[in-house]
Amino acid sequence: MYYSMPMWMKPGMIKNNETSVEFDNGMRVIAEATTANAARGKSLKFVYCDEMAFIPNRIQTDFMAGTAPSLSATRGKMMITSTPNGSRDLFAKLWFGSGMEWDKKEYTYTRDKNAKNDFVPLFVPYWLDADKVKPEWIKREKGTLDDPVKWKVEFECLAEETEVEVYDQVDEVYKTISLKEMNHQLIKDVVDSRFIIEED
């Protein structure tokens, strides 16, 4: 990011190594592995945690417990990005506990009065940049993954517990099943073409 900034905006870099960068305006950027004590005792203005859902849940919880006081002391901010990894870990609890809902009519988020945290969830779909994501690429990636559930999890950010509606052609009824169940059913029934998956 620093190297793509215009020259007039770049602060002078005084230190640059594998785990930190320091600038002449006093700003310092540190990269650390996410451990239970990574942020403990530090004076932090901003924390960015990538792929949080893939950090073991106990470490997620301990990391947040150690980070929150460090951020509150400086009125700092935190950004978390992740592909979902189930719906029971801390990342999922923060996402769903935010109480934010997208209002399609007003084209804005509204916060539920029963929100459990101040996080603002933001889903950025891979297809957002239509100039870069071409149908050929999607087809190639789906073929490489060769697993519709993995595609939904990795590219569409749906947890395996996410429920989808399927049509059972034998019983001629719609059923609601989880992506995980759908994957098992697809493996079993794909030859028979028993289910049709409907997407909105």
Dihedral pair phi/psi, residue 5, rounded to 5°: -75, 150
Strands of 195-197's sheet in order across: 173-178, 163-168, 195-197
pLDDT of residue 188: 52
Enumerate residue ranges in the chain where pLDDT < 70: 102, 104, 107, 127, 130, 159-166, 179-180, 182-200
Q: pTM here?
A: 0.68
pLDDT of residue 184: 58
Dihedral pair phi/psi, residue 111, rounded to 5°: -100, 130
pLDDT of residue 193: 47
Q: How many helices (H) and strands (E) does the chain have?
A: 5, 10
pLDDT of residue 135: 81
From 73, 57, 64, 20, select the one nearest 38 (Cα to Cα).
64
pLDDT of residue 163: 65
Residue pointed to by tokens 């190297």: 3
pLDDT of residue 76: 92
pLDDT of residue 196: 46
pLDDT of residue 195: 45
pLDDT of residue 161: 67
Tens of pLDDT, residues 65-106: 999 998 998 999 999 999 888 888 899 899 888 888 767 677
CB within 8 A of 2, min separation 6: which ones? Answer: 10, 13, 21
Contact criterion met (CB below 8 Å) for 125 and 156: yes
pLDDT of residue 185: 59
From 167, 187, 165, select the one nearest 177 (Cα to Cα).
165
Structure-derived torsion over alpha carbons of residues 125, 102, 111, 162, reported in degrees to the nearest 10: -60
